[in-house]
């Protein structure tokens, strides 16, 4: 990578390295820029899902002998994935989603268990809204 090339790294707040060592390293390497997104950003879920599929379908079983070979496997997967791409279509309307949320909230919850003794501590009551 060219020494003068600016590198931008997108991190979610949950996994972001925030130690003093990292901060010092970033000050010594000003071409690297960290950008923090809010925890649980919805688009990140889609990216993580796509990366998971990349790993499972293209990388996990591969024994790559070189970086160019790994890069080609990734590019091949991207080409196949892009060839099958289409718009996201919601399968449920807002009313159906809200109905499902209400139903889930009304379900009895599992009892609380003391992890040391294995005994049941409490049975939460179902909440009705």
What pTM was computed for the model? 0.46
pLDDT in tens, 75-121: 999 999 999 988 877 778 888 888 888 887 777 666 566 666 666 66
Query: Which of 71, 43, 44, 76 is closest to 57 using CA atoms?
Result: 76
């Amino acid at each position: 990578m060219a020494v003068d090339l600016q590198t931008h790294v997108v991190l979610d707040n949950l996994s972001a390295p925030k130690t003093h060592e990292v901060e010092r390293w970033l000050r010594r390497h000003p071409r690297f820029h960290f950008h923090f997104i809010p925890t649980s950003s919805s688009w990140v879920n889609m990216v993580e899902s796509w990366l998971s599929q990349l790993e499972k379908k293209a990388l996990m079983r591969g024994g790559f002998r070189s970086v160019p070979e790994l890069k080609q496997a990734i590019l091949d997967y991207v080409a196949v994935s892009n060839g099958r791409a289409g718009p996201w279509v919601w399968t449920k309307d807002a009313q159906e989603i809200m109905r499902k949320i209400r139903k889930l909230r009304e379900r009895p919850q599992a009892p609380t268990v003391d992890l040391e003794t294995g005994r049941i501590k409490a049975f939460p009551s179902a909440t009705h809204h």
